[in-house]
Chain A
């Protein structure tokens, strides 16, 4: 035990503080009161403004690693889309996101009483995301002659009249990485697609330049974004539950910064003396 303690460094104390800050709040049944940010309201309003029957292409561009953070966001957005009676085309540009995307889409569709092939379809995975995004711009039916389950897509009512991005009201990339930049480069710039994104909190700031330029029309991120969206939808979900843990972790990091400065200052003072 003493040997273990002797190997303990400041780094380990920092790790321990984060572990406690992230896990203990999950055990408490406390919900923070909050309001929705303008960013979340804009995303919500964009979906709300779409007429019933509009086509939404949702790309599940994430891996299993980020699913815990992505799931509440994806759930909330899908609930909203189905509530608005939008036609949903699901696909994945990441092999790993394929099954998770299908599970998420089917779960929410069943919850909302939607019918496969009429209200939604899942097209599955296409390798090489650059060429997949470009190929949809040329011809979605050619790129996806069959769906994830191997059924022919040509006769599906949900895909009726959909040829390329021109018939898609909005593309939503649900992601844990930089995929929206590929959508901007290839779908927005070349085919003038309308893009929104739902992503993990760490990646959000890298996309703000695209939001302010209008290339990304809406963005919601992280558990806070999910909690805000649930608030607007007036439906409970995982975002509200995770918000406390995320917020306490953020404050713990703030405390760590302050402690780091005090330790640094004391070290420097000792040196001067």
Chain B
């Protein structure tokens, strides 16, 4: 379908791989501080959720404020699996399976939540997804789950209520969450997952199903009039979006020692933060989401040295990026520059 010149999606893969290579070389050379090394995996999984959310916001055209919730279910389900299989399966099999389980569970939740939510539009949909994200987080926060010789025990009040036998183990310890998830994820794996997420998202956009989803975004009534099944395709977009967020959750839970369903990890603030990445990276622009997530996640962390000025600089950057992306003057300027580049390099870019 695309012509001889490398398409934009191919460039995205190349850039991501280059970034990975540079980081790996720097790491080998010992040029990365341990603080920065600790930020690599989070930056990548935020990039992944941003890709997932962009499918919902940019491609499907529905505002979701609950994507942290999908991350949350992906994280918890895969963690439970990994702990259960810790001594039976080698990491090479365990982690891919955990990944699939996290994705499947997030997709399932996407489907279940999608049934009521996708009947709504616009602001209403945003509000309800926000609520669902919070509900998921709060339930997991209050859940005590243990297993013993008699089977599974669950409670919403306290650990004591579980009535575990002497041989029992706690799986989810309420607000204390899950501890002891094997730390299977590293930067390389995270990059691989990011590449797969990009691959899925960009392929979807350039396919029959992707076109149907975008046609609903652009004009629902017209889409219906040419025989597009609205419910089916809205659900497809939403589920894929949730599944990708779930994959990010799996990376998250396998890169920290204690997984808690706290607000700082899965609250609505996180959902909004991800939305900021999507909006500033360009709604509907998949590769832009990756760039925005990486830069905007790393920036405030790297500015920690500036302490109180940190958030000031961060917000100035946000405003600058927003203007660059959306202000008419900036857009005109970009079109001009793009035209000049096209002239110089003779490469045809799609508008």
A, B bound: no
Seen from chain A, the residues whose Cβ lies within 8 Å of a Cβ on chain B are none
Seen from chain B, the residues whose Cβ lies within 8 Å of a Cβ on chain A are none
